[in-house]
């Protein structure tokens, strides 16, 4: 009987540790090159991609978690940054209207790239910087999937955060946990 109790408590401890690993602390990713930090549920994969735009190619730097085992409510968590050449904006980005046009282009580009439908887009801000929050619906294999997106413009740099989930999980708390963990940081050389 004593052995059974010990075995039971060992199993209970193992279950608790597994639960903590799945629901416990997320992993901090600090990108000093692009001056931000954010928490991911797992270690993200870094990628550098050349992205064609109407004005020319830009380089996008991203971190992505692909939760194939569906241990969280979203199967994709992603951050991306790109620097727009100042030459693309000869008159600068010094008005809210000009900033809004760039951010609207970010959202419209995302909708177009995934051939999705924009459910909503609204203005937001982070530390005084302009941004957009959007939700995009995409259909694949007869099922609807939801992209939740935030983008911010800091000077000529755009920051993008996004999650992808099933339609049933479109308002889960892990989206907020991911988005709310994003911070711009001051880097001194």
For residue 159, tell me if it sits in a domain: yes
| Numbers of helices and strands, H then E, in the chain | 3, 10
Q: Is 35 exposed, middle or buried (0-12, 13-18, 19+ CB in 10 A)?
A: middle
What's the pTM value of the predicted model, to 2 decimals? 0.83
| Digitized pLDDT (tens) for each residue of the chain, 189 residues in all | 433 323 333 333 333 333 333 456 899 999 999 999 999 999 999 999 998 888 889 999 999 999 887 778 899 999 999 999 999 999 999 899 999 999 999 999 999 999 999 999 999 999 999 999 999 999 999 999 999 999 999 999 999 999 999 998 888 999 999 999 999 998 654
Could you tell me where the DSSP H helices lie in 127-185?
A: 173-181
For residue 105, tell me if it sits in a domain: yes
For residue 19, tell me if it sits in a domain: no
What is the chain's length? 189
In the DSSP assignment, the letter for residue 95 is S
Range of the domain at 175: 25-184
Domain count, the chain: 1
The CATH number linked to 49 is 3.40.1000.10
For residue 20, tell me if it sits in a domain: no
For residue 115, tell me if it sits in a domain: yes
For residue 8, tell me if it sits in a domain: no
């Amino acid at each position: 009987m004593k052995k059974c109790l010990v075995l039971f408590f060992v199993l209970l401890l193992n279950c608790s540790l597994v639960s903590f690993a799945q629901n416990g602390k997320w992993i901090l990713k600090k990108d000093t090159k692009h001056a931000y930090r954010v928490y991911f549920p797992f270690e993200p994969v870094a990628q550098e991609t050349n992205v064609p735009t109407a004005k020319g190619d830009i380089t996008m730097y991203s971190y992505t978690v692909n939760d194939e085992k569906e241990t969280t409510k979203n199967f994709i968590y992603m951050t991306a940054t790109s620097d727009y050449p100042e030459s693309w904006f000869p008159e600068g980005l010094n008005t809210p209207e000009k900033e809004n046009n760039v951010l609207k282009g970010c959202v419209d580009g995302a909708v177009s790239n995934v051939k999705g439908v924009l459910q909503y887009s609204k203005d937001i801000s982070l530390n005084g910087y302009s941004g957009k929050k959007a939700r995009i619906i995409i259909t694949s294999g007869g099922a609807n999937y939801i992209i939740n997106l935030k983008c911010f413009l800091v000077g000529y740099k755009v920051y993008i955060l996004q999650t992808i989930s099933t339609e049933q999980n479109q308002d889960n708390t892990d989206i907020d946990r991911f988005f709310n963990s994003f911070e711009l940081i001051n880097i001194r050389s």
